Amino acid sequence: MGKSDSSTLNRNERILESEKKLGEVIPNIALLLQRNTKRFGEKIVFQEKKDGKYRGITWNQFYKDIENIALNLKSFGYSPGDKVVIYSQNRLEMLEFELAVMASGGVAVPIFFNYNSETAEQLIIHSDAKFLAVGGSLQLGRINPGLPLRQIFTFDSFDKLENPEVLNERNNVTQFSNLLAAKSNTDYNLNFEAQPDDICLNMYTSGTMGNQKSVQLTHKNILSQQAALNIIWNLDENDRFLSFLRWHHSFGGIFEIFNALYNGAMLSLESSLGTDPKEILENWKLVKPTIFFSVPVIYQALVDMILEDKKAEEEFFHPELKFVFTAAAPLPKHISDEFEKRNIPVIEGWGLTETSPCCTLTDPNIKREPGVIGSPIPGVSIKIADDGEILVKGPNVMLGYYKNDKANEGIFTDDGWFCTGDIGEITDTGLRLITRKDRIFKLLNAEKIIPTKLEGSITSKCHYISYALVEGSGKNYPVALLFPNRHLLNRPEDSVDIELENCLCPNSLEELSDCLHNCLNDVNCSLKQKFARIKAAMLIDDELSVENKTLTPSLKLAPNNVKEVYKAYIEKLYGADSNLKEHVYIIPLDD
């Protein structure tokens, strides 16, 4: 799968870093694209599913398209340094357009394709973008015609727009196909002279704890990471990626995309974009990925499904699958065990958008430990501040936040370390992640609670719970909101049961609420500190989502938004007479 990595600990300063040196980094994205086109010309770089079959584009055509887009943009007044917002679902046009902007001296600014009008407008205005690219009618219809945009490009052609009337009142909309016209200047080249520290990507954070911030990333930030991963992993042009992670987010839009591009691997777009486990599995059979990047909730849905079908199980755990990668949260043990007993390594990583994003990776040759997120990749150093905050230094660390003096204040120490906002500790087997600094809260008696520990214990204990939120700031005791794993809960009664130790395998929310009483009491009994024990929980017949911002684009819990959306539910657990929209089951717990 790869080359075993190890790290060293400078015990005088408690700095953790890789024993491997980073080495040479490609100076800019234009040079990367040029290099790989020469190396892999007629190989497929990217493919999408059309009419039930995957159809791809070669490196030669891909590079030609990017050159044409970059040159044709100039005829609309585009110049190096301009910011360009991309408001679209993952698709070939988005990938080519974004790379054309980044490789010609501009700054790409991708945003979530399904943001409502208000959020999209806020980000477009904040970004200072002069240009906008949209997927089609959905996005175009949400754009205020009065926004100060020089030009809007639509990936869907005008005749395919579901609502052609959105073109009314707009005289600055152009079909993307116009940018693909053969370049008139045959001497034109991409910006091969771009400096490593030039900004090429402004990516908004997922807003886990509040307002999104625009992270300014450079060519060096992105490409140093790929140079580091190339030292650790044995990937090449024969590898195959099945991709669904959203490209406006760093996990998919930097870590996965550039991992494939850098190595000349084939990137196949998953046609449901991660929304349908059955469709993911069908695409899996067609692509036979050698590498898969995903988040725990998707792995759980896939494994739960395939263990009911022997043929699907064999097709999923196929011989060419090198490893699977997970981020956003630890993979439940019973899921990772299914990979490991078939000798398919499960690799976890940690990082932030601000660190492009990867800082640490687990070593598949070392037994996994709960909470341990591995060792630094080459070029990255980690140390722990006096208050437990994880500090990072390396070529992958952003320049700073765009137009956000408040956020930039104190984000770097005086000697240049980036303050991540995560709390952790250095152990003999790597970095242990404890919680977000701003998630720790105090009870009324001033005792500190780390809610992520409790939440992790709950979801690990009960596989029928997808997400848990623990709250109790300023209260006498903590409480928990619980959201069910609908896929597992809705399995047919006559299906083959998945072996879950000591699990009653409920078939309804009512049955789940009954058995949760015992599971939650077990979690409480495992806590040495009695003040941290949950006194009541609520099982809610509802789903968290990216659209209502209760989940981040990488499907992590967005705690502050969940607390806001379900404020009345939390108050109900503390005795308030709240009228609740969704059906709930309240679970009082033993002292």
DSSP-assigned states of every residue in 341-368: TTT--EEEEEE-GGGSSEEEE--TTS--
Kindly tell me the number of DSSP H helices and DSSP E strands found in the chain: 18, 29
Phi, psi of 578 (to 5 degrees): -95, 140
Domain assignment present for residue 97? The answer is yes
> 80 in a domain, yes or no?
yes
Domain boundary among 180, 197, 231: 180
Domain count for the chain = 2
Mean pLDDT by 10 residues, the chain (591 residues): 59 80 96 98 97 96 98 96 98 98 98 93 96 96 94 95 85 95 88 98 78 94 98 96 96 97 98 94 97 92 88 96 87 87 94 97 87 94 96 98 96 97 93 92 93 91 92 96 88 49 80 92 92 96 88 84 95 93 90 65
For position 187, what pLDDT does the model report? 87
Picking from 123, 157, 180, the residue at the C-terminal end of a domain is 180
Instruction: For residue 443, give both structure tokens.
Output: 């009870």
Q: Which amino acid is at 203?
A: M
The CATH number covering residue 444 comes to 3.30.300.30
Domain harbouring 85, CATH code: 3.40.50.980
The answer, yes or no, to whether the previous bond of 148 is cis (omega within 30 of 0) is: no
Distance CA 136, CA 153 (A): 9
Copy the structure tokens of residue 441: 């809260």
Q: How far apart are CA 336 and CA 241, in angstroms?
A: 20
SS3 at position 109: strand
CB-based contacts of 492, cutoff 8 Å, min separation 6: none
CA distance 569 to 586: 10
pTM: 0.89
Strand partners, 248: none
SS3 call for 37 = helix
Q: Tell me, what's the pLDDT at 496?
A: 39
Query: Quick count: other Cβ atoms within 10 Å of Cβ 188?
Result: 14
- Structure token digits, residue 156: 């869907």
> What does the radius of gyration of the chain's CA atoms come to, in whole angstroms?
24
**pLDDT for the residue numbered 333:** 81
Q: Answer yes or no: is 428 within a domain.
A: no
Given 157, 180, 203, which residue is the final one in a domain? Answer: 180
**Cα separation of 246 and 113, whole Å?**
9
Q: What value, to the nearest 5°, has the Cα angle with vertex 56 and ends 37 and 65?
A: 50
16 within some domain: no
| 111, part of any domain | yes
**Residue 120 covered by a domain:** yes
Residues, the chain:
591
* Domain-located, residue 283: no
Task: Return the structure tokens found at 31.
Answer: 């040079």
Establish if 321 belongs to a structural domain. Answer: no
Instruction: Assess contact for 328 and 554: CB atoms under 8 A.
Output: yes
Q: How far apart are CA 510 and CA 282, in angstroms?
A: 33
Find the domain containing 530 and state its range. 440-588
Q: What angle do helix axes 219-232 and 29-40 make, rounded to 10 degrees? A: 40
Single-letter amino acid, residue 71: L
Segments of 373-487 assigned E as strands: 375-376, 381-384, 389-393, 400-401, 418-427, 430-436, 441-442, 448-449, 465-471, 479-484
H or E element in which residue 58 lies: strand 53-58
Burial of 175 (0-12, 13-18, 19+ CB in 10 A): middle
